Amino acid sequence: MDAIFGKSTQNPQDSQSKTPSSPQTVSSPLGQKENPMLEGSSPSQASKSHAPQYGQVPTVLSQKQEGEGKGRYSESEIEAIISNLKGDGFKNNPLRQAYETEVRNLSSIAEGMKQKILKGEVEESEVAKELHKMRRDLGVKYKNATPSPLIDYIYAINIERYGDPLGPTYEMLRGKGKTDAQIIESSYRPNPDVDVLLGGFEKWLREQ
């Protein structure tokens, strides 16, 4: 799942990386070192420098009032979390919109790489691996800026579906029958159904 968004009063400069470590730079088939986020920075550093910051999210949960529910979160806390993180739709969240813009911007890189393939200067598989990694690194950047408990839900869903908190790996996609050409095309296309994918967030909160 590549769903990324969130509102937080926490300054991204104070946030800590919540994901497994990711390489800082990648070797590009274009013949130069390319960092999909910032030159010479890690995904967490990129999120510190460029991730937007948004409205209030309850970061310190109050003690549950008697009779207010049986789970980790009280009913009032669940309502506040949903209101702040979902708003009028996950896809419309400014952080999600910023992520989707960066993902679509990968298309210009992909077009340049496709020309290299046609000229026989690089293998299609190399391009697919490169663009998949760039998309994955963008995911790290914006996941680092997504507040809990939403990011915890995203990781839980990804682990359940793919066995990886960041989503499917290149090898996993190939193993499921995706061609290198399909992986290249999907690298710069944001998921249009993020609200459907995250439709179980409220239910998940109640089960914690």
Instruction: Report the sign of the C-alpha dihedral through residues 1, 158, 49, 33, in that order.
Output: negative
Encoded tokens for 9: 């009063």
pLDDT of residue 17: 40
Whether the Cβ atoms of residue 129 and residue 171 lie closer than 8 Å to each other: no
pLDDT digits (tens, 9 = 90+) for 85-108: 988 899 999 999 999 999 999 999
Give the helix/strand (H/E) hosting 184. Answer: helix 180-186
User: What pTM was computed for the model?
Assistant: 0.69
> Which segments of 43-177 does DSSP mark as H helices, in order?
43-50, 75-85, 94-118, 124-143, 150-162, 170-175
pLDDT digits (tens, 9 = 90+) for 108-155: 999 999 999 999 999 999 999 999 999 999 999 999 999 999 999 999
pLDDT of residue 27: 38
The residue extents of the domains of the chain are: 12-207
pLDDT digits (tens, 9 = 90+) for 41-84: 333 333 333 444 333 333 333 334 444 445 899 999 999 999 99
